[in-house]
Amino acid sequence: MVADRWDPAAFRTRVDDVLHRFVAQEAERFAAVDAALAPVAAQLESSVAHGKRLRAAFCYWGWRATGQPDSEALVRAAASMELVHAAAVVHDDLIDDSPLRHGRPTAHVALRGAVRRRPRSAAAGRSLAMLVGDLLMGLAGQLFATSGLPSAYLARARPLWAALARELIAGECLEILHTGAPPDTADSLKVIRYKTAKYTVEQPLLIGGALAGAGDRVRGGYSAYGLPLGEAFQLRDDLLGLFGSTEDTGKANADDLRGRRPTALLAETWRVADADERRQLAALLGRRGPDEDGVRAVRELMLRLRAPDRVEDMISARVEEALTALGALGLPAPASAALTALAHSVAVRAS
């Protein structure tokens, strides 16, 4: 990667090298405690095997946009954002009981194999996955602290880690609390903001900026860019979760719908539906979620009510808001170009 030219593929390779090396070392130390831990150690490595590395990229450009140079220590610090994401994914899949991620069994499903001959193997697999997620979050802090950046720089960013964890967990809790409740767009957008938007874009940018000593104006601009863009990211996920290709997303189709999760797509459908359509939708969702025929019927109702179009409009409006905030910051050309490209990659994607 040339320092002033954004090459996403080259950056992903740099982040992957850091993650795979670091997690492999930690997995080896973990497995050395007892041979029985080998499947759990393998799941640690599997948890960081894939990813777009968007969170690392936003942290990186939060630093670079202030005029700070590229460095390997920075890439290590930025890579720690991907361990936060890996932890969140393991916990999210566990909470949602999702069977697939990146086309492979999720952690709690894969870890059933380690205890398949034991009583209550499904519950034991879930417990192991929970601990994998906890360990990944701990490793995120360790990688950040040992990145090689000066301790004074790290100290500037440390308070943001508390906010990141608090808001991420608050978002997960809100999703659980609103699941199965009458759909409401404002509630759905709040879940999106705290569960995904903040830790995907805004907080990595702010952490990168804090490491670099960014001032109030720049930090305010990062939030004005990052929050709507993070919301656009999750709104796109909502659409892909029901209307995307399983081959592209690598996830089980209609998980959100079957779990009656508070997505903006479902909330917008409910908002514009008349009384008969609401009764139809409630009957299709049921207590246990719709079967395949029910999923098709919900899709048809959503399309008839143009709910996907409204979510597309929400995505477009948020990307425009983010790019307007970015333009007002007057960042150096390489940073502005990279953050513009990242905004479009967040909003326009198939997975």
pLDDT digits (tens, 9 = 90+) for 237-283: 999 989 988 776 666 667 888 888 999 999 999 999 999 999 999 99
Q: What is the pLDDT of residue 57?
A: 98
- The DSSP bridge partners found for residue 105 are 100
Pair 160, 210: CB distance under 8 Å: yes
Distance CA 343, CA 320 (A): 9
pTM assigned to the model:
0.93
Distance CA 287, CA 278 (A): 15
Pair 346, 62: CB distance under 8 Å: no
Q: How far is CA 40 from CA 15, 81, 125, in A?
A: 23, 21, 10
> What CATH number matches the domain at 8-347, 1.10.600.10, 3.40.50.450, 3.40.50.1100, 2.130.10.10?
1.10.600.10
10-residue mean pLDDT series, the chain (351 residues)? 76 97 97 96 94 96 96 98 96 88 86 83 92 97 97 96 95 94 95 95 98 96 98 94 78 79 95 96 84 92 97 97 97 96 88 71
Is residue 159 exposed (0-12), middle (13-18) or buried (19+ Cβ within 10 Å)?
Answer: exposed
Which has the closest alpha carbon to 183: 284, 89, 252, 253?
Answer: 284
Is residue 334 exposed (0-12), middle (13-18) or buried (19+ Cβ within 10 Å)?
Answer: middle
Distance CA 182, CA 169 (A): 22
Q: What is the pLDDT of residue 2?
A: 43
Q: Print the SS3 string covering 229-265.
A: HHHHHHHHHHHHHHHCCHHHHCCCCCHHHHCCCCCHH
Q: What is the pLDDT of residue 289?
A: 73
**283 CA to centre of own chain:** 31
- Helix (H) / strand (E) containing 100: strand 100-101
Q: What is the pLDDT of residue 252?
A: 66
Q: What is the pLDDT of residue 168?
A: 96
